Amino acid sequence: MTWMSCVLLAGASCSFAAGSHSLRETAAGWFEMGVGISDRIPERTNDWPLLTTQFSAVTPENCMKPVAIQPADGRFNFAQADAFVDFAARHGLKVVGHCLVWAKDDRTPPWFYRDGDRPASAELLLQRMRRHIETVVGRYRGRIAAWDVVNEALDDGTNFLRPSGWEKACGEEFIAKAFEYAHQADPKAFLIYNDYNNELPAKREKTIRLIRSLRAKNVPVHAVGLQGHYELGRLPLADLEATLVGMRELGVKVVVSELDIDAIPRARWWADGGKHREELAKLDPYRDGCPPEILKQQADEYAQLFRLFRQYADVIARVSFWNLHDGQSWLNYFPWQRVNHPLLFDRQGRPKPAFDAVIGELSAGK
C-alpha cells in the first residue's frame, strides 16, 4: 500500500506522501468526490491534509441548516457559514450548501409556521421562505456552487409528500417555489432535490413524479440527491441501478450526497414497532476495532457501488461521503451510541481496505 508513509499528526488525521492515491484525482473524468464535514473544519487543522488530498467538494454538516442559520424570524447567524465558505475558497474546495428547506417539522424552526397564535398562512410561509432563500443564497452567490434546495420532502408511507407544515399549507407548490427563489438568487447555482431511500421503488416513483411535475412547470431543478446511507449486507444495488436508469431517462443529474455503509446495520431499530431497541442500544460489537472480515465485506460492497457509479458516470455529477473518517461519523451516535466504521478512513485518517477497493474501481476502465 502506498500509504505507509502517512505521518500521524496529534489527534486524528495524517499528511500524505507524494504518490499516494487520491479519490479526487482518481475520480476525475467520472464525477466529483465530495464529503460532508464538520462546521468546525476551519479550526481542525489536523483534518486538512486528508480533506484536501482526497476531496474537491465540501458540504457543511449543520451550519447552513434552517435551524442554525435563521433560528428566529430575521435573526440570521452567518458566522460559522461564512468561516466555512472562506475556508473552502482558501483551499480550492467547492461548497455544496445544505439545505434551504428541510421539509420535516422537527427540522424547521417553529417560528416559520406560526403567525402569532395561529398557523401561518401559505402566503406568509412562502414569503418567509423567499426571504430565507434570497438572503442565504444571495449572500454566497458565486461562492456556493450547488445547493440542496429541498431535503426529505417525500413521504415514507403511502402519501406522496411527507406531512409537514409546508405541505399542509402549500402542497407541492412549496417545492417549486424553493427552487424558483434559489434560482433567482443565484442563476448559476446547481440546484438539487435531496432525499433518502429514494433509490427504492416507492420513493423512486415519487421522485419521478415530482421531477416530472417540476419540469412541466419549468422549475429549475438540476439534480436528484440520493443520500446513500447504506448498511452492510443490504446494498440495494438493483434498485439503485433502476433509479439511475430512471434519472437518466428523465434527463436529470444525480448526486450521491451522503454516502456511508454502516458496519453495524440499524434497520431493526425501526422494525416491529421498535421492540428491538433495548437490545440494540447495548450492541457495540466493534468497540475495540473492526474485524478484518467485516472490513473486507465493506470493501467488496464499496467496490460494487463504485462499479455501478462508474457505469452511470454520465448521470452522476458527484459522490459525497457523509463525514471525513470513522471517528467523525454520525453513525457513532445514530440511532444509538456505538463505535462505528462506515467510511473509507479509520479514526486516525488512515485508508481502510474499502479505500483501496474504491481506488481500484475508479482506476478501472481508464
Interface contacts to ligand GLA, rule CB under 6 A? 98, 151, 196, 227, 258, 330
Minimum CB separation of residue 216 from ligand GLA in Å reads: 27
Cell of 54: 482526497
Would you say 196 or 312 has its CB closer to ligand GLA? 196
Q: How far is residue 349's CA from residue 347's CA, in Å, rounded to a whole number? A: 5
Show Cβ contacts of residue 323 under 8 Å, excluding neighbours closer than 6 positions. Answer: 35, 36, 37, 38, 61, 260, 329, 330, 343
Q: How far is residue 257's CA from residue 304's CA, in Å, rounded to a whole number? A: 18
Q: Is 258 a catalytic residue?
A: yes
Minimum CB separation of residue 270 from ligand GLA in Å reads: 15
Give the active site residue among 32, 152, 231, 361. 152
Q: How buried is residue 365: exposed, middle or buried, by Cβ count under 10 Å (0-12/13-18/19+)? A: exposed
Instruction: Spell out a b/e string for 218-253, using b for 16 or more CB atoms within 10 Å of the CB, else e.
Output: ebbbbbbbbbbbbbbeebbeebbeebbebbeebebb
Among residues 196, 102, 199, which one has the least CA distance to residue 151?
A: 102
Would you say 303 or 331 has its CB closer to ligand GLA? 331
Residue type, 49: P
Give the active site residue among 167, 180, 231, 258. 258
Would you say 22 or 197 has its CB closer to ligand GLA? 197
Q: How far is residue 352's CA from residue 296's CA, in Å, rounded to a whole number? A: 9
Would you say 32 or 260 has its CB closer to ligand GLA? 260
Between 122-139 and 173-185, two packed helices, what is the crossing angle to 10 degrees? 30
Q: Is 152 a catalytic residue?
A: yes
Would you say 61 or 167 has its CB closer to ligand GLA? 61
Minimum CB separation of residue 85 from ligand GLA in Å reads: 17
Minimum CB separation of residue 328 from ligand GLA in Å reads: 11
**Considering Cα of 165, then 104, then 198, then 362, what sign does the dihedral take?**
positive
Cβ-proximal residue to ligand GLA, closest one: 330
Q: How buried is residue 276: exposed, middle or buried, by Cβ count under 10 Å (0-12/13-18/19+)? A: middle
Minimum CB separation of residue 88 from ligand GLA in Å reads: 17
Would you say 30 or 112 has its CB closer to ligand GLA? 112
Minimum CB separation of residue 285 from ligand GLA in Å reads: 22
User: Which of the residues are catalytic?
Assistant: 152, 258
